[in-house]
Structure formats: C-alpha cells, structure tokens
Amino acid sequence: MWLLIFIFVTITLLLGWTLFGYFMFLFFIGLFDKKKQPCFPEKWPFMSVIVPCYNEEGQIIEKVKNINELDYPHDLLEVVFVDGGSNDRTLELLKTEVGKNSLFRIVSCPQNGKINQLNYILPQLNGEIIVNTDVDGLLNKEALKWIAAEFHGNPDASVVGAFCYPDDTLDVEHYYWSAQNKGRLLETDGGTSSIVIAQCYAFKKELLKAFPEDVVADDVYVAFLANTLGKKVIYSRHAMAFETRTPKRYTEFLPHKFRKSNAYLRESLRFVYRLPEMNGFFKMIFLTKVAQQILLPWAFISWLLIAGVLLTMFRFDIVILDTVFLAILFITTNRIFKWIELPDGKHKYSIFTVIRGYILTNIIMLSTGLSYPFFRQGSVYKRINDN
C-alpha cells in the first residue's frame, strides 16, 4: 500500500511541476527581474537576411514585397533568397519581382533541404547578425529594428526570435499558439527562452558556422545551442511574424503538430550529453522540457490508473488531497496565463476549444514518444497546403 501511495504522490508532483509549477516558477522569477523595454540602438548592426525557398510560387511575391517594406537602413542590409532546386515558377517569379534591386540576391543551392540551403549560404554572408525567415512568415514593418534593439538591450543574447502567430486557421491552432507563446514569454522574462520559431529568428554570426547535417528543426537547434553555451535566447514582443501557411483542417493539423513535436524531441535529445555544460537555470528548463515530451502523457495515464486502484482500496483521502493540490496549481497557472498579454491581441476560447487543445496535445506527445525510435524525418517534407 505505502509503495503505491508513494508512486502516486511522486507522479502527482511530476504532473504538478511539468504542467503548472514550471510556469509558476518562471512567472515569480520574472517578477523579481525587472527588465528594461528594448530601445533602438544609436548605431544599427549590419544584417544578413536568409530566405530559404523551395516551390514557393504561391507565396514568393508576397514575401518579396513584405521584405521590401521593412524599415531598416538598406546600406546595412543584404537579403539572400536561397533556392533549393524549385521545379515550379519560384525562380522565374523571383527574378521578375527582384529585378535589378541591389538589396536582393538569388542563390541556387546544389542540394535541396533547408539545412543544406542554410549551410550553403552561411559562409557567404557579411552580416554580424543573421536573420532567417521562412517564405510563409510575413514580418511587421519594424521587425528588423526590434531584433537589433533586443540584441542591443541584452548583450548576453545570441538568439532573438520574432513573436509568431498564425493567420487564418483552426480555433484549436490559435489556442495552441497562444498557450505556447505565453510559455515562451514567461521563459524569456524568467531568463531565457527554450525555443524560437522558424518564421523569423536571428542569431549572432559567431554562434555557429554551420548546422549539423542531420538537424531537422533549425529553430530548435539554434536556441538549444545558444542556451547550452550559456547565452540568452529572447522571444520578442516587438519583432513579429505571422504564419500564412496554416492548417485549415484536422487532417492537416494533426500531422503538422506531430512532425513539429517529433522534431522538437529529436533536437532536445541531441543535447542530453551536454547537460553538464548547461548553467543551472537552463538545465532546469531542459530537463522540464524533456519530461514534458517523454514523461508527461505516460504520467497522466498512470495517475488516472493508480487513482482508480486507490479508490477501490478506499483511500479517498490520498486521491482527494492530490486532486485538490493539482486543482490549486491549475487555477493559479490559469490566472497567470490570463495576466500575460500577447502582442497579437486578446483571444477568448470556449471551454470546448481548450479541452480539445489539451486532449490533442497529449495525444500528439504520446504518439511522438511511442513512435520516436521508428520515425525519422529530414528538413525536406510535404508542407501544409502543398498540392
């Protein structure tokens, strides 16, 4: 009996930390670490903007126009479209749209795959800050200036990610993004973010010369690398990008999130052997993130099963106390998340959307853990809305 109760209480504490306590801790750390609002530097850094592209004829013109409208000194900016062997009209449209604009370069990479494209162009760039932005990420006008401001205000930062949010999509996808974004902002306010988003992120050139060839999520890798080296990762509230390639049906949503979850887990586990190098704060973040990916779904299922067994043994006291404990943490965390304001505006979600989002998230994480030894993916894949 005592062993069963001990296991039940241990699982309760694991659930309490990974689901709620982690975010409560970050929130209270952030309260005592008052940060200054980023401000534009007197001298702008030279930036190199990479736009990897492959079969983007439906969106490439809008991306070119978006970059043209960015407010940043053109003499301190280079923009390189790196094509990975498109077999549609992407290159034709690019050449027509770019014309003789000296701000832009078009480079054809001999290999497809985003990592190959990034590694091919990185040695050719002149910027002290490298900005990677996907074709389906449209930036707000002052995004590059705010990225420069974040680096200027945080000398220890090696990576800055733009605040990303989806365009027209499912309610559950909007909810998913809102919850994830609030978590990233809590991490940033607490000390450092565990992730940036591929739609737009920037890193100091000295951070890395090339990505490992087997990387499947460059945005996850670059954030974990910086944190492992003791540098900060900032998830900005001011530099913004909205994602135009979004799931419109659950048949798109589920595979898309599964692939993202698998990539995150794969890149996380890449850094397990470097755990001793990490500082205490990021070590806590790292272990929590891995636990959320691998242990959380199983812990939740185990908690329900053991609670059922304890109830049949008339140990209502233990089950009720642990349930009340989790309920208090849930209510507190929910209140904290409501206090966090997102730069893309306030969103209200029905209880049914929240429940669907929670159930689907756990199903995706569970399937990720089960399939991890067998499922492999690269940086070339079938994207949402590809015909």
User: Are 94 and 207 in a shared domain?
Assistant: yes
| Radius of gyration of the chain measured on its C-alpha atoms | 22
* Same-domain status, 197 and 258: yes
Domain boundary among 230, 249, 276: 276
pTM of the model: 0.92
| Structure confidence at residue 32 (pLDDT) | 80
Q: Which 8-state DSSP code applies to residue 207?
A: G
Beta bridge partners of 81: 51, 106
Instruction: Tell me whether residue 386 is in a domain.
Output: no
The residue whose two tokens read 């399939």 is 371
Higher pLDDT residue, 375 or 315? 315
**CATH classification of the domain holding 186:** 3.90.550.10
Residue 233 has pLDDT above 70, yes or no: yes
Name the E strands within 268-315.
none
* Residue 36: both structure tokens together: 């200054």
Is residue 385 in some structural domain? no
Reduced to 3 states (helix: H, G, I; strand: E, B; else coil), residue 347 is: coil
Q: Of 118-132, 164-178, 336-350, 366-380, where does mean pLDDT reach its minimum?
A: 366-380
- Cβ neighbours for 101, distance < 8 A, ≥ 6 positions apart: 68
Asked if residue 248 belongs to a domain, the reply is: yes
Residue 379 included in any domain: no
> Higher confidence at residue 246 or residue 382?
246
Residue that is last in its domain, among 258, 276, 294: 276
CB contact at 8 A, 72 and 144 = yes
pLDDT exceeds cutoff 50 at 22: yes
Do 105 and 242 belong together in one domain?
A: yes
Whether residue 40 lies inside any domain: the answer is: no
Could you tell me what percent of the chain has a pLDDT over 90? 68
- pLDDT score, position 387: 45
| Tokens describing residue 345 | 């505006």
Do 24 and 171 lie in one domain? The reply is: no
The CA distances from residue 11 to 6, 30, 291, 317, 319, in Å, are 9, 27, 12, 16, 12
Are 68 and 187 members of one domain?
yes
- Regarding whether 271 and 139 lie in a shared domain, the answer is yes
Statement: residue 250 has pLDDT above 70? yes
Do residues 183 and 328 share a domain?
no
Question: What percent of the chain has a predicted confidence (pLDDT) above 70?
Answer: 96
- What span, in angstroms and rounded, lies between the C-alpha atoms of 207 and 158? 7
User: What's the whole-number mean pLDDT along residues 258-271?
Assistant: 91
Tell me whether residue 35 is in a domain: no
286 and 225 in a single domain? The answer is no
How deeply is 325 buried, as exposed, middle or buried, from its count of CB atoms within 10 A (0-12, 13-18, 19+)?
middle
pLDDT in the model for residue 141: 95
Domain presence at residue 160: yes
Same domain, 363 and 234: no
- pLDDT for residue 380: 57
How many domains would you assign to the chain?
2
Q: Answer yes or no: is pLDDT of 122 > 70.
A: yes
Could you tell me if 46 and 128 are in contact, meaning their C-beta atoms sit under 8 angstroms apart?
Answer: yes
Segments forming the whole domain that contains residue 292: 2-30+281-371
pLDDT at residue 385 tops 80: no
| Phi/psi at 128 (5° precision) | -80, -20
Domain annotation covers residue 37: no
Q: Quick one: pLDDT at residue 2?
A: 83
Indicate whether 286 and 362 sit together in one domain.
yes
Residues ≥6 apart with Cβ < 8 Å to 63: 51, 53, 56, 135, 138
pLDDT per position as a tens digit, 50-98: 999 999 999 999 999 999 999 999 999 999 999 999 999 999 999 988 8
Nearest 10 degrees: Cα torsion 128, 274, 370, 176:
-40
The per-residue pLDDT for range 289-324, each reduced to its tens digit, is 999 888 888 898 899 999 999 999 888 899 999 999
| Residues 298 and 165 occupy one common structural domain | no
Question: Could you say which of 242, 276, 310 is where a domain stops?
Answer: 276
Residue 236 has pLDDT above 90, yes or no: yes
Same domain, 357 and 242: no
Q: 281 is written with which tokens?
A: 């704060």
Lowest mean pLDDT among 57-71, 80-94, 235-249, 361-375: 361-375
Instruction: Please give the mean pLDDT across all residues of the chain.
Output: 90
